[in-house]
Structure 1
Amino acid sequence: MTHASPAVHALAGAYALDGLSETERRQFEDHLGECDECAQEVRGLRETAARLGVAAAVPAPAGLRARVLADVARTRQTPPYPEAGARFRMGRSAPRLLAVAAAACLVIAVAFGVVAQRADQRADRLQASRDRVHSVLSAPDARAVTGPVGTGGQGTVVVSRQRNRAVVVMAGLPSAPTARTYELWLMGAGAPRPAGLMRRASGPVVLEDVGAATQVGLTIEPAAGSRAPTTPPIFAAALPG
């Protein structure tokens, strides 16, 4: 059995995300057959990446067609073109009708523009979130821990001390009760620090400024969140050093 350098162990995150060169990949795969710890790490990171890929999918803007049609329905429409006997009257009212038609077009254009802008902003936020997630999963020191949730389901935490971030993703977690939400905490020597609300039961949630925290916890809190936990943790995971 050969003894790999510590640098090879650090390639687990990049390997799990297909981020290695061909030479590095062959070197790591040779090592992978002899290192149970790295094999387990790669499996955990790949499973987490797969869950995050599903959770971060960008749906089409919800209700786009319904909102535009509703705006059109509220706008006065131009009447049919009149018969020959009414053309004289049409001539006098043409400017008003053209104004109405222009207003209708403007309403439709504004509706599409507002919705498109909101969709673009949402897509930008999702992309930024994906970038933060990827920075953790691809970190050389990325480590994953998994554990059960007291109310059902399973939680996975991937932490990178180099990036000073962690990613939390849940599988099978039921929706929070009415008027309640899930809140994440970074725990260590001092008092628990609020780390973000998990408004979607699956996540992912990126925890910034992990610092010296030794655990991540999850509690059920009032909808607006709490400054300190008000209920016992339903999930706790020890963070690797």
Structure 2
Amino acid sequence: MACGVAAAACPDTATHYQSSSHQSIMNATDFPALASAHADAAPSLWRQTTVLPVGAGEHEAYSIGPDQLVWSYRLATPDHNAGRLTCTQLPAEHFACARLQSRQVLLVSMAQQKLYWSLENGQPERWGTPQRCGYTNANGLYPMEQVHLLQLGFEVLLGVLARRTNVLGKINPTLAPEDSYQFWVGRWTGSGFDFGRKPVSLRGDDSLGNAFLFGKPDAFSDSASGENPASKPMVRSR
């Protein structure tokens, strides 16, 4: 297969174009749709294609391949008719990518309720062995659904969206099904992510941008308790 590029091979797969500085931030009201976007009943061979600028007018696409690993594909240019396909060895059900100030690409993924990251190493193979993130789920009650990366100047933040389904219904079966969301934020340290806060509370009119800022380690705290005042999970209907 010519692999040319994931979006071209699979026209039903949305392709996301990102600048080198940030990823698009979506409203909390989009969470249910986002959570099911990668769980299509008839998934494409290549999923969640994201395109990053390389420089000099060149771009590179990242996508989850048929083997459930993240692949990169350097797009063809007028000077180069053929692209370059590379496997990052990063397992993924959902992933995010960002180009750091160092020009290296950072990849983060979730697979089987585990978080992984991989960073370009400057070697011919480009990618080393994927590393586990130091993220602990709240006793497994809130399964992970998505990961997001946000760049704020020289800082890179990882957001993990987790959802517990039908929270109220499990307490009282007569209540309407409602889901509880948690959004965890970790800071990139150069060798992993530091999750230094409790998950933030999200409301219907909040955005992931607000969640990133509020969940950012040392972003703010209650002066008396030292705890994040927005630590309660959001509860909202599907």
TM-score w.r.t. the length of structure 2 is 0.32
Structure with the bigger percentage of strand:
2
By relative contact order (CA 8 Å, sep 6+), the higher-ranking structure is: 1
TM-score w.r.t. the length of structure 1 is 0.32
